[in-house]
Structure 1
Amino acid sequence: MNFENFPNYTKFLNKTILAVDYGTKVTGLGIFTPGRDPYPMPFGKIIYKSDDQIICDIKSIIDDELVEVIVLGLPLYTDGNESDMTEKVKKFSEEFLKTLDGVELYLQDETLTSYEAAERMKNSPRYNFKVDMREIDALAASIILEDFIKNEIA
């Protein structure tokens, strides 16, 4: 898939973007620099201990990778309604935003990204055509980032 024709590709050209699939057990990460990378890639995971620890770990990645944009997955029901987890992510984003200096933060609907990640794994030799639960959160984060690049920011 060529991402160059999507709305946010040009807007974020040469800016390193980190996608965060926040979870209370595992937080998945994806990364992409439009103009340098061919497409968003999984970038590992963080095992959850506390929100402060997640923020600290992500800030370390921001410094190491020179991240300029954070895309945080927002979990919604398929009908667009919010869940308890939606509220947790919004609260986390507010706390996280207070710690960011010069880094943009966007929320991106993450509906069905874990399902999509599982489907991709089942169809990929990279994952031996099996769902790998150790990798699913990072792959879901890269899909959140794909969706972000494909859509216009409101």
Structure 2
Amino acid sequence: MGRILAIDYGTKRTGIAVTDELQLIASGLTTVETHNLMPFIAEYLEKELVDTIVIGQPTQKDGTPSDVEGNIQNFINGFQIKFPNMIIAREEERYTSNMAFQTMIDSGLKKKQRRNKALIDEIAATIILQNYMRYR
């Protein structure tokens, strides 16, 4: 059984989370600059067995796609060309950044640590992955 990798796609940075081999535990992996996302994932897939890529699906409050959705679709199209056999799933990601920030507060991180936007993105990816695992 392979891992599940989750992506919280952003225009500047992208948070990445991954499960263990048994797909039981979701953990933050890292945050990468979005222009380095495809090479990072390609290198990761060479080292680890991954069954599914879960990509956050951002929407507005009224349910319409957010502005970044076009960028995400471009990434997905390029990804499917490079990795045609990889399963791609989408998971609603509304408010995950807010939940990630609250998680940081609840964890007792100091104010300076909570300003780390890369950490927020990584935690948001973990929340996307946890939601996917919970409802699949």
TM-score by length of 2: 0.87
CA contact (8 A) 2:53 2:88 kept: yes
Q: Residue 79 of structure 2: which of 76, 96, 102 is its match?
A: 96
Structure 2 distance, partners of 1:107, 1:134, is: 21
The one-letter code sitting in structure 1 at the alignment partner of 2:37 is: I
Structure 2 distance, partners of 1:69, 1:83, is: 23
Determine which structure has the larger helix proportion and give its number. 2
Structure 2 distance, partners of 1:110, 1:82, is: 11
Deviation at 1:101, TM superposition (A): 4.3
CA contact (8 A) 2:11 2:68 kept: no
| Matching of residue 63 in structure 1 with residue 46 in structure 2 | yes
Deviation at 1:26, TM superposition (A): 0.5
| Matching of residue 43 in structure 1 with residue 29 in structure 2 | yes
1:124-139 matches, cutoff 5 A = 124-125=107-108, 127-128=109-110, 131=114, 132-139=116-123
What's the counterpart of residue 84 of structure 1?
67
Q: Which 4+ residue blocks in structure 1 deviate beyond 4 angstroms?
A: none
CA contact (8 A) 1:71 1:106 kept: yes
CA contact (8 A) 1:21 1:27 kept: yes
Unaligned runs of 5+ in 1: 1-13
TM-score by length of 1: 0.78
Give % identity. 28
What's the counterpart of residue 105 of structure 2?
122
Structure 2 distance, partners of 1:62, 1:104, is: 13
